Amino acid sequence: MERSVCLSPQEKEQLLSYFETQVMQVLNWLAAFSPDEEGGITRLLYTEGWLETQLALAEKMAGCGLKTEFDHVGNLFGKLQGEDLDAPSIITGSHIDTVVQGGMYDGAYGIAAGLLALDYLQRQFGKPKRTLEIVSLCEEEGSRFPMAYWGSGSIVGKRNFEQIVHLQDSYEVFFADAMQRCGFGEGTGRDSRRSDIGAFIEVHIEQGAVLEKEGIAIGVVDTIAGQRRLKFEVIGEANHAGTTPMHMRRDALEGVSVMIQALRQEAVRIGAPLVATVGRLQVQPNVPNVVPGKVVFTLDARHDDEQALDSFCQWVMKEFTSLAAQRQLAIHGTEWFREEPVPMNDKLKKKMDDVCGKLAISSKRMVSGAGHDAQMFEHLCPTAMLFVPSRSGISHSPEEYTEPRDLAVGVLVLTELLYRLGYEGEEL
Ligand SMILES: [Zn+2]
C-alpha cells in the first residue's frame, strides 16, 4: 500500500489549513522578538534580541518533544531521535538572523516549516527510522559583521574562529566579544563541525517574482548561482565644465554610462539566468561644474553556469577596455569576490519533483540568484532547497510577504519529503 502524510484530497486540504494557521502563529511569534521602529525586523547576530529568540526557540522545540542542543557558535538543533542510531541525520532548517529592517519570512520561514513538519510527523507517526533534526542557524546574512554563512559554514568546516579574530561591527564591538556575551565561543559547547549529516533540506521564500508571475506553488532549486563581484576604476581628466569644449573632454562618467548600457544590452542578449548589476558609482569630484575625472563602480554578475559566467566577465573586461580606449580613459578592473555555482543534489531534486507530483502541487526547477545556507551544506552532504512565492518578489524589507496558503504548501512538501526519508527509509 502506498503511504504518504496525506492520502486523499480531503486529507491534503485538512493538513494545508492546519499548517496555514500554525505557520502564521510561529512566524508572528518569532517576529515579535526583534521588531524595529520601521515596522520590520532587525535581528542581528549575537544581539540581545537574537539570543532571546534562540532561547525561546529552544524552549519551543523542547515543547514539541525535540532534544535541543546549541553548538559553540550558537546554532540551535532540535533532534527527533530515530531507531537507527548509526544512520546520519536528515536536517532541515534555515537562519534566524535578519538584515537591518528585514521581513518576517526570510530565514524564519525555513525554521517554522521545519518545526511544524517535525512536530506533525512525531505526533502522527511517532519515532522515525532515521534521526530528523531541525536547525536554527545562528547567522547567514553578514549584516552585523563582515562575515556571512557563519552558522552553516561552521558546521561544514568552511568557517572557524581564526577567521573572525579581527572582525568588528560598525560600533567596533569585536565578533568574539559579542559571541562570548551570549555565552558562546571556543570551549563553550559542542564543536560546530559535524560529520553525521545525511542530508540538508532548506525551505525558503523565493525573494524573486518568478513563482508568483507564473502561478507556481513550489520552486525546486536546481542550482544556487555563482557570483562574481568586480570593481572598476575609470580615470579621465577633471576639468572646467564651462571652458572645456565637448570634443576635448576625457569625461570618466560619460565613459562609464556607455559601459553600463553595453553591459545591460549584452546581459539581456544572453538572457536568464544571467543577471548583471552596477550597484554603486562613486564620481569624483562629484560637483556640478566639473567634468568628472574619475569614477569607481561595481559590477555584480551571477549565473548558474561557471563557464558562462567566466566568459561573460571576460567579455565585460574586453568591452570596457575598448570603450575606455576610444575615449582616452584609463581603466582598471579587479575581481574581489567569487563564488562558484552550487548545484543541488540530483536525487533529492527528483524526490522533491516526485513529492509535488504525487500531492498535485505545481512546481518548477529554478536557479537561485541569491546565496543561501544550502550552498554551504552541499559541501558536506546531499542538499536540496525549495522555494515558495514571494509577493512582488520583495525581500530584505518589511514589505516581504507570502500568502499563508503558499507557506502551508511549502510545509506540506517538506513534511512529505521528511516522511519519505525519515519514516519510509527511502534512500538518498
Ligand atoms: Zn535567507
Note the pLDDT tens digit of each residue in 118-129. 999 999 999 999
> How many angstroms is it from 400 CA to the middle of ligand 1?
12
Length of the chain, in residues: 428
> How many angstroms is it from 107 CA to the middle of ligand 1?
4
For residue 31, the one-letter residue type is A
**C-alpha cell belonging to residue 110:** 525555513
Note the pLDDT tens digit of each residue in 382-406. 999 999 999 999 999 999 999 999 9
The runs of H, that is alpha helices, within 360-401 are 374-377
- Which protein residues have a CB closer than 5 Å to ligand 1 (ion)? 106-107
> How many angstroms is it from 284 CA to the middle of ligand 1?
36
> How many angstroms is it from 182 CA to the middle of ligand 1?
22
Q: Which of 298, 368, 280 is nearest to 337 (CA)?
A: 298
> How many angstroms is it from 303 CA to the middle of ligand 1?
19
> How many angstroms is it from 103 CA to the middle of ligand 1?
10
> How many angstroms is it from 139 CA to the middle of ligand 1?
10
Q: How far apart are CA 241 and CA 399, in angstroms?
A: 43
> How many angstroms is it from 330 CA to the middle of ligand 1?
39
Query: How remote is the C-alpha of 380 from its chain's centroid?
Result: 17
> How many angstroms is it from 291 CA to the middle of ligand 1?
42
Question: Among all chains, which residue has been given the C-alpha cell 510561529?
Answer: 26
Q: Which of 87, 81, 80 is nearest to 119 (CA)?
A: 80
Angle between helices 252-270 and 306-326 (to 10 degrees): 150
> How many angstroms is it from 106 CA to the middle of ligand 1?
5
Strand partners, 233: 296, 332
pLDDT of amino acid 428: 83
Q: How far apart are CA 223 and CA 342, in angstroms?
A: 5
Percent pLDDT > 70 in the chain is 100
Q: Strand, coil or helix: what is 329?
A: coil
Q: How far apart are CA 357 and CA 2, in angstroms?
A: 14
What pairing do the DSSP bridges indicate for beta strands 290-291 and 281-284? unpaired
> How many angstroms is it from 127 CA to the middle of ligand 1?
30
Please state, in angstroms and as integers, the Cα–Cα distance from residue 114 to each residue in 7, 56, 134, 160, 343, following that order.
21, 16, 6, 26, 22
Q: How far apart are CA 365 and CA 342, in angstroms?
A: 14
Question: Among all chains, which residue has been given the C-alpha cell 549565473?
Answer: 303
DSSP 36-83: -TTSSB---TTSHHHHHHHHHHHHHHHHTTPEEEEBTT--EEEEE--S
> How many angstroms is it from 373 CA to the middle of ligand 1?
8
**C-alpha cell belonging to residue 43:** 535581528
Segments in the chain below pLDDT 70:
1-2
> How many angstroms is it from 121 CA to the middle of ligand 1?
25
What pairing do the DSSP bridges indicate for beta strands 383-388 and 197-205? parallel
**C-alpha cell belonging to residue 150:** 557563519
Note the pLDDT tens digit of each residue in 18-75. 999 999 999 999 999 999 888 899 999 999 999 999 999 999 999 999 999 999 999 9
State the DSSP H helix or E strand holding residue 14, giving kind and residue range, or none if neither: helix 9-31
Q: Which of 147, 137, 109 is nearest to 197 (CA)?
A: 137
**C-alpha cell belonging to residue 364:** 518548477
> How many angstroms is it from 1 CA to the middle of ligand 1?
38
> How many angstroms is it from 114 CA to the middle of ligand 1?
14
> How many angstroms is it from 101 CA to the middle of ligand 1?
14
pLDDT of amino acid 187: 87
Task: For residue 87, give every residue at least 6 positions away whose Cβ sits within 8 Å of its Cβ, in sequence order, or none.
Answer: 129, 130, 131, 198
Q: Which domains does the chain have, with CATH numbers?
A: 9-224+341-422 (3.40.630.10), 226-339 (3.30.70.360)
CB 23 within 8 A of CB 113: yes
pLDDT of amino acid 318: 98
> How many angstroms is it from 204 CA to the middle of ligand 1?
7
DSSP state letter for 168: B
Task: For residue 221, give every residue at least 6 positions away whose Cβ sits within 8 Å of its Cβ, in sequence order, or none.
Answer: 344, 349, 365, 366, 367, 368, 374, 384, 385, 386, 387
321 burial via Cβ count (<10 Å: 0-12, 13-18, 19+): middle
> How many angstroms is it from 272 CA to the middle of ligand 1?
22
